[in-house]
Structure 1
């Protein structure tokens, strides 16, 4: 037999917060498995996205953004999760925002090179560049003095430039059979994904700081024939935050629940009955034991 050998491997998706790592993973997988918002540090957990192509399979390890600030236990936990995702991977994609390179981008690059991984630079959001002539000088400057296996300008949101990116990343992983079934798209359970869908709405609908004081715990996940019955607790740190999440007459909480339920039904391809409650657990985001009890392993 002749032809291109099949390749499969694990690839870490690394970068500073809010550069579109999760959007890129979703675009490559072809399904929404990672939540997204325009707020930094939306991703808190390591999550595997399985992208299967005719030429091979990429197990994409989506990670929290690497950042210098480590004021709270949550920040320290996310940095550990991001760095821990480098164990056992074959290559990495460093995702940056087109036109911008700062100290946290440099920190992410240094982390990858210290791990001895081949790195593909993914310059995301090129569609947002107002001055397109600035792209080539930016790419040259970003690559200067740095060892990248390839450099790819893309728009994950608009799915531009992804075919060439996949081709070059597949070239960095071993020749072997697929690691996961063709119909598998993530290693996370529906229960975990349900909690993330609720948290996504918190990130999108609440004010500047409040989303970082919230987390979601799924208390109930039951299959009732063709119906999924899900109970979600939204944890906040102060009683005043609870009132904000609930909103006047419960309006905001209903909106959060409605939008989260719609996302779940689309992802799970099932009818969902979702109940939500808001409870207070003071200081949970700076308490290692509380983080562990809330699923931050």
Structure 2
């Protein structure tokens, strides 16, 4: 038995960066970084998961799910597209929120193309206009992506599209419609993104789908189940720390701490007779087993860390830092 960072031989493993050989790109090959920007809960993470063909970003009906700038990698015969999934841009209410929004704004100027994702099920609103103002101050090329077209009422679809078409025309942005849930329109989106990229090399091995370590993805999969099962009872005051991963011949043992801010939240997370913690662990374990393609034993512990979202030191300890 040994404690290690998981690195098995299954395809598309998360932590092969620096181990796999990066080949030389063929003539005419394109590559670049694409920032996925938008309000909270417009489907940015769902979109990136669909495009790279694997779940690497958590999704939830709860807004502001994404916290870190997560890179998803799609490599085709003609191009390598590196998607940067950012936290939803919103008015921050605490130190964590300020860090998240600042990181999203930094991403706008550090990518080759911005994909501005909006919710096609509702008309353009104040939150969208706030982001438009930010993007208009940047020199980065922008594509306006209308997501959730599968939710558009037939009678109102044209009216809803028109509110976004005006935004695209006013800023000379190309516009594309799609559904990250069904996949409709994503071929056109991918083609448009490739057209916007310059000639370039492979930045990552062709079979890599993300540059994040598996421990990070494990923590995110656990946090996703907490968001899904507790909803508003324990909203965003949760941070996951993977404390130990032990790989044995037939099973991988994962030990994770769930950090929350108040004692009352601890009771909710544990539940009567440990029922809630068991449900979270069971659902998260299934997702982690898919990630590593092997059997997993998951142990969860709940820790109270008062006001961790307000403390720069605590945020750094839990992996939340302002990006450079």
TM-score range, shorter chain: over 0.9
User: Where does structure 1 lack aligned partners over 5 or more consecutive residues?
Assistant: none
Q: Shift in Å at residue 178 of structure 1?
A: 2.1
Using CA pairs below 8 Å that are at least 6 residues apart, which structure has the higher relative contact order? 2
| CA distance in 2: counterparts of 1:225 and 1:244, whole angstroms | 35
> 2:301 corresponds to which residue?
277
> Could you report, residue by residue, the CA deviation over 1:50-75 in whole angstroms, capped at 9, with x for unpaired residues?
0112221100000000112x221111
Determine if contact 1:49/1:61 at 8 Å carries over to the other structure. Answer: yes
What secondary structure does 1:36 align onto?
coil
> 1:145 corresponds to which residue?
170
TM-score with structure 1 length normalisation?
0.94
What secondary structure does 2:75 align onto?
strand
1:241 counterpart (265, 283, 307): 265
> 2:65 corresponds to which residue?
42
Q: Shift in Å at residue 273 of structure 1?
A: 1.1
TM-score with structure 2 length normalisation?
0.87
Number of residue pairs the alignment of both structures matches: 293
> 1:26 corresponds to which residue?
49
Moved more, 154-163 or 85-94: 85-94
Determine if contact 2:69/2:86 at 8 Å carries over to the other structure. Answer: yes
> Could you report, residue by residue, the CA deviation over 1:237-286 in whole angstroms, capped at 9, with x for unpaired residues?
11111000011111111110111110011121121111001111111111
Q: Shift in Å at residue 206 of structure 1?
A: 0.7
> 1:219 corresponds to which residue?
243
Q: Confirm whether residue 231 of structure 1 aligns to residue 255 of structure 2.
A: yes
Distance 1:10 1:84, change over 3 A: same
Q: Confirm whether residue 130 of structure 1 aligns to residue 153 of structure 2.
A: yes
| CA distance in 2: counterparts of 1:113 and 1:181, whole angstroms | 34
User: Where does structure 2 lack aligned partners over 5 or more consecutive residues?
Assistant: 1-25
Q: How does 1:250-289 map to 2 (within 5 A)?
A: 250-289=274-313
| CA distance in 2: counterparts of 1:100 and 1:221, whole angstroms | 46
| CA distance in 2: counterparts of 1:113 and 1:124, whole angstroms | 21
> 2:94 corresponds to which residue?
72
What secondary structure does 1:207 align onto?
helix
Q: Shift in Å at residue 181 of structure 1?
A: 1.1
Moved more, 35-44 or 132-141: 132-141
Q: Confirm whether residue 155 of structure 1 aligns to residue 169 of structure 2.
A: no
> Could you report, residue by residue, the CA deviation over 1:19-50 in whole angstroms, capped at 9, with x for unpaired residues?
00000101111100000001111001110000
Q: Confirm whether residue 295 of structure 1 aligns to residue 290 of structure 2.
A: no
> 2:200 corresponds to which residue?
176
Q: Shift in Å at residue 136 of structure 1?
A: 4.2
Q: How does 1:90-101 map to 2 (within 5 A)?
A: 90-98=112-120, 99-101=122-124
Q: Shift in Å at residue 93 of structure 1?
A: 0.1
What secondary structure does 2:199 align onto?
coil
> 1:194 corresponds to which residue?
218
| CA distance in 2: counterparts of 1:40 and 1:207, whole angstroms | 10
Determine if contact 2:68/2:87 at 8 Å carries over to the other structure. Answer: yes
Determine if contact 1:4/1:55 at 8 Å carries over to the other structure. Answer: no
